[in-house]
Amino acid sequence: MTAIAQGRTRRTTLLSAMCALVVTGTGVLAGCSEDPDTGTNGVGKLPADKIQSRTRAAAESAEAVRLSGTVVTNGRTYTLDMRLKSGGGSGSVTSKGVAFGLLRIGDKLYLKADAGFWNHADGDTGAASAGKLDGKYVKVPQGDPSYKKFSGFTDKDVLLDGLLTLHGALATDGHHEQAGTPTIRITGDKGSGGTLDVSLDGKPYPLRLDRAGGAGTLTFSSWGKNFTLTEPEKNETVDYGKQLPSS
């Protein structure tokens, strides 16, 4: 929580306590109805469509972000924990109880998993092949069907553009809090089209997204905090060839 947010929380707590204990001649302590947008970035006073525009602009301009949570697509649930920036990204993906790591630096995409992952490959890679790939960074050929699919999990612009969308009529849904940071919530079709909590502290970054139709929940953090992507060592890397086992 930032110092600004901490100060706002302390002020709100103190005010609530005073309101509970003290009354004026009219029965209400002056100031008890403090404007929740006081001291914020001001987007809470905007209409929902303007808030959405501001948060998209903030997300696009940020150098980096951490994204975690679940995404449901084509009937399959993926649990993500990714750090993303313009030049690539890294992190982990889990689906159907099978986990694997992804690392993309520029056009180079690597997939890292244990032998159990490779043993799930269609047609069976065989224990020997799976053992050779166990714990290694396997370079994904750009012509392989999995390249486009998996590289999307490491592409900040593509991923955010696809995720930060609410469906239906937009509206605001009050002031809330995410991980100690005050937020304004916007909804699509009264929530059935998704909900998005936008930070009222600093830049109006998206902090939490509940996707339409129960298609997953994601949280966003570490906005603008750059990180280093490091190429794996040669002895940690396997070049499988033109196509990976189908998994």
Chain mean position to CA 217? 9
- Is the whole model's pTM more than 0.85, yes or no? no
Q: Would you say residue 48 lies in a domain?
A: no
Q: Which residues contact 160 (CB under 8 A, 6 or more apart)?
A: 59, 60, 65
Q: Is residue 2 part of a domain?
A: yes
pLDDT tens for each residue of the chain, 247 residues long: 555 455 555 555 444 444 444 444 444 444 455 788 899 999 999 999 999 999 999 999 999 999 999 999 888 999 999 999 999 999 999 998 889 999 999 999 999 998 888 876 545 545 556 677 888 999 998 888 888 888 999 999 999 998 898 999 999 999 999 999 999 999 999 999 999 999 999 999 999 999 999 999 999 999 999 999 999 999 998 876 655 655 4
Q: Is residue 28 part of a domain?
A: yes
Report if residue 135 sits inside a domain: no
Tokens of 82: 């990714």
Host H or E run for residue 102: strand 98-105
* Number of structural domains found in the chain: 1
Residue 157 burial by Cβ neighbours in a 10 Å radius (0-12, 13-18, 19+): exposed
Q: Is residue 101 part of a domain?
A: no
Q: Is residue 221 part of a domain?
A: no
- Domain span at residue 1? 1-34
